[in-house]
Structure 1
Amino acid sequence: MLVTILSLNTWSTYGPYEHRWPCMISQLKTLKPDVLLLQEVTDSRLLDQIKKATPLLHCAHQVQAGLATVTRFPLIATENVTYQSKSPLENEIRGALVNTVQIGGKMILLANTHLAWRAEDGGTRAQQVRELLKYVQTKGLPAILAGDFNDVPESPAVEWITRNAEFCDLFEHSRSPDRGITWDNRNPYIQTHAAKGVRFPDRRIDYLFASRNLAAARALKRCEVVFRSSCRNGAFASDHYGVLAEMCVEKYRTPSAGRGWHSTRKVR
């Protein structure tokens, strides 16, 4: 079956969130993810609205770190990881929300994270990645790593994942000719950051990584950037764009056959 996984930094309740959230949910109905990994979720009302509007009924929320996992698959286990490595430039709690799900008899780890954001925090981000990988590797399960890593593919943090660990950058693995930009200065919400003196070039900083055994044997069907366009109300879903991947895993029949995007998905 094909499983669709989507990661998005939701930008908390900044900007016109009362217009952004309906835009986000409208696009979710089109994209039909099976697993949704969210960052900057500081208001549980967003999760309530997502669960009400979609078949993603199972949810875990790490409130302090603003991380949430919403999925149509039951959550077997949920653990919170708090990074010991902290940026001296911020007071944020950084960590990971780690969930275990079962898909067609295969146990898969979902690790959702949001790393330190300032340009000067490259060393901190690299240390936070090491902490995450060390934790994930103790579980001995195939894993998906997702989130806002606040760093580019050539950074020490991201290269530590793709070169020193058994993980694959799914967007790079898709061989898309697109640059995969998720922090785009054409997004009008980015200008609110610029007005406060926070300026970055267009960058790819949001990722989906998979254990190489999950991404092997043509398992990855596609990986693309989503939420790039505005909705009819003129709003964008967030200041970030999201990343969506569709992967083949073992055939799975959802326990709740009555509600879902599809009760089963077959690889063509």
Structure 2
Amino acid sequence: MPVADGGTRDDACGLRLLTLNLWGTNGPVARRMEDLAGWLAASRPDVVALQEVRRFDGELQSDLLAEAAGYPHRWWARTFTRDGEQEGLAVLARRPLTAGETTRLPGHPRDVPRQLQRAEIATPTGPVLVANTHLTWRRRHGGVRLAQARAVRHLLGEESLPVLLVGDLNTTCRSRAVQALAADFPPGSGLTDVFDLAPTRPRATFAFDNPFARQPWLLGRRVDHVLVGAAFEVVDARVVLDGRDGPVVSDHHGVLAELRLPAPDGPADGPGLPPLVA
């Protein structure tokens, strides 16, 4: 998959997407932001989905990255406020964001609130739905993650657009939560891990060699995911921002997927999401 200059691809049906847990303002945040902005400007993914997005120097991190890396369209959705600090999910896009909605997910009293951010993105072959989320992280909260995944699956199962689900799910592809997202009911609506369809093998996104990673039970696992609906062809996928394929900019590494979407046979059915209000 070409990265440095964006490569050559058929933009009429190609989509390159990155998901990354930004790790808020932890660690050497100024350097991390600078390194990530430089990588985004050089790599030019079409869509960037971020989790743990906060304010830095009075501005949203997602806005700062969009300005620095040349993303004209972005949407940050607040998930919670704690001790005066706001945190949320964000989508950056090179193509217009036409509609969006956030939905609260089941939670636990010992965790922060969780939500699903859904954004419709215009493409030459029609709108695509990017769903971005960050599930609970505690080891003993597997049942909560499963409930959250089932809520996400219910919401996405009602969508008529081609669907991409991305984010930090805090669990592996073999977990009950991810398997619930892959459930094929209604028929044809199941989601598939991009690495099941890509020619490359995945690596951990919460890695032992990442100096920022500190949750022992997650170490050595791939907990960041891109799941695709049946409409998408997966050209390639890989773990990035891991010190080998880009600088380490977070306690998580990112996942970059190159996808293709054929032109639809006709207009999508269903009411769609409400118009996006910036």
TM-score, normalised to structure 1, is 0.83
**Alignment pair present for 1:46 and 2:61:** yes
Look up the SS of the partner of 1:36 in the other structure: strand
In structure 1, give the amino acid aligned to 2:98.
Answer: I
Structure of higher RCO (CA pairs closer than 8 Å, 6+ residues apart): 1
Look up the SS of the partner of 1:139 in the other structure: coil
In structure 1, give the amino acid aligned to 2:138.
Answer: R
Q: State which of 174, 194, 200 in structure 2 corresponds to 1:176.
A: 200
Provide the identity percentage: 29
1:189 corresponds to which residue?
212
1:76 corresponds to which residue?
98
Look up the SS of the partner of 1:63 in the other structure: strand
Look up the SS of the partner of 1:126 in the other structure: helix
User: 1:249–1:55: structure 2 CA closer, same or farther, 3 Å change rule?
Assistant: farther
Moved more, 44-53 or 116-125: 44-53
- Pairing of 1:72-151 with structure 2 (within 5 A): 72-83=94-105, 85-90=106-111, 92-151=112-171
1:57 corresponds to which residue?
72
User: 1:162–1:99: structure 2 CA closer, same or farther, 3 Å change rule?
Assistant: same
Q: State which of 41, 46, 70 in structure 2 corresponds to 1:29.
A: 41
Residues 114-140 of structure 1, C-alpha deviations (whole Å, 9 max, x = no match):
000011111111111111121122222
Q: State which of 170, 179, 182 in structure 2 corresponds to 1:159.
A: 179
Q: Are 2:132 and 2:167, in contact at CA under 8 Å, matched by a contact in 1?
A: yes
Residues 58-110 of structure 1, C-alpha deviations (whole Å, 9 max, x = no match):
11111225100010111111101111x212432x1101110011211422111
In structure 2, give the amino acid aligned to 1:206.
Answer: D
1:225 corresponds to which residue?
239
Look up the SS of the partner of 2:38 in the other structure: helix
In structure 2, give the amino acid aligned to 1:60.
Answer: W
In structure 1, give the amino acid aligned to 2:51.
Answer: Q
In structure 2, give the amino acid aligned to 1:4.
Answer: R
1:262 corresponds to which residue?
none
Q: Are 1:104 and 1:250, in contact at CA under 8 Å, matched by a contact in 2?
A: no
- Pairing of 1:234-249 with structure 2 (within 5 A): 236-249=248-261
Q: Are 2:76 and 2:89, in contact at CA under 8 Å, matched by a contact in 1?
A: yes
What CA RMSD, in Å, does the superposition of the two structures yield over aligned residues? 2.0
Q: Which has the higher helix share?
A: 1
C-alpha distance in 2 between matches for 1:36 and 1:241? 13
In structure 2, give the amino acid aligned to 1:189.
Answer: F
In structure 2, give the amino acid aligned to 1:67.
Answer: L
1:211 corresponds to which residue?
229
Q: Are 1:62 and 1:80, in contact at CA under 8 Å, matched by a contact in 2?
A: yes
Q: Are 2:33 and 2:65, in contact at CA under 8 Å, matched by a contact in 1?
A: no
Residues 118-173 of structure 1, C-alpha deviations (whole Å, 9 max, x = no match):
11111111111111121122222110000000001110001112244511100222
Moved more, 55-64 or 181-190: 55-64
Residues 187-245 of structure 1, C-alpha deviations (whole Å, 9 max, x = no match):
0011xx35xxx54331010000110122xxxx22110001001899xx72101000001
C-alpha distance in 2 between matches for 1:222 and 1:159? 22
C-alpha distance in 1 between matches for 2:34 and 2:159? 37
User: 1:200–1:168: structure 2 CA closer, same or farther, 3 Å change rule?
Assistant: closer
5+ residue gaps, structure 2:
1-10, 81-87, 264-278
Aligned residues: 237
Q: Report how far residue 185 of structure 1 moved.
A: 1.5
Residues 34-78 of structure 1, C-alpha deviations (whole Å, 9 max, x = no match):
000000001243222222222311111112251000101111111
User: 1:239–1:230: structure 2 CA closer, same or farther, 3 Å change rule?
Assistant: farther
5+ residue gaps, structure 1:
252-268
